[in-house]
């Protein structure tokens, strides 16, 4: 079981650190649907029409250290994206592992360890 978890963590780190950089930068399905009905200029700015994207606002955490799938302050885009992915995997693994450990340590109702 331990080897399986370590292998899974390694694969997740590899995917987040290297492969994630090659993900498509094109809008996903939700972005595409939100932009439907509007017209755009060459700079991809809305110039007319009616769509949900016209009411788009900046996210409250847009200035956070991990905004836009990168790490603020690292100018190399490949490194910034990779490190951000690795940090996300490690944080998720730590939280999930911690919760699993806490729940496993609890004794069942009416039973003993």
> In the chain, which ranges are continuous DSSP H helix?
2-17, 29-35, 77-105
Task: Kindly indicate the confidence band of residue 107, based on its pLDDT and cuts at 50, 70 and 90.
Answer: low
Distance CA 99, CA 32 (A): 36
Distance CA 8, CA 16 (A): 12
Q: How far is CA 2 from CA 11, 27, 73, 98, in A?
A: 14, 38, 36, 15
Q: Is the pTM of this model over 0.75?
A: no
> What's the confidence (pLDDT) of residue 111?
54
DSSP β-bridge partners for residue 87? none
Residue of 106 and 17 predicted with greater confidence = 17
Write down the domain spans for the chain: 2-105
- Mean pLDDT of all residues in the chain? 87
């Amino acid at each position: 079981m331990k080897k399986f978890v370590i292998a899974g963590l390694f694969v997740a780190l590899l995917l987040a650190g290297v492969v994630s950089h090659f993900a498509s930068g094109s809008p996903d399905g939700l972005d595409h649907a939100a932009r439907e009905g509007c017209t755009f200029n060459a700079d991809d700015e809305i110039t007319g029409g009616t769509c949900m994207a016209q009411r788009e606002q900046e996210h409250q955490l847009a200035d956070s250290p991990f905004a836009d799938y990168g790490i603020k302050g690292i100018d190399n885009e490949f490194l910034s994206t990779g490190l951000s992915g690795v940090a996300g995997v490690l944080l998720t693994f730590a939280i999930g592992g911690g919760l699993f450990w806490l729940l496993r340590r609890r004794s069942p109702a009416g039973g003993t360890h």
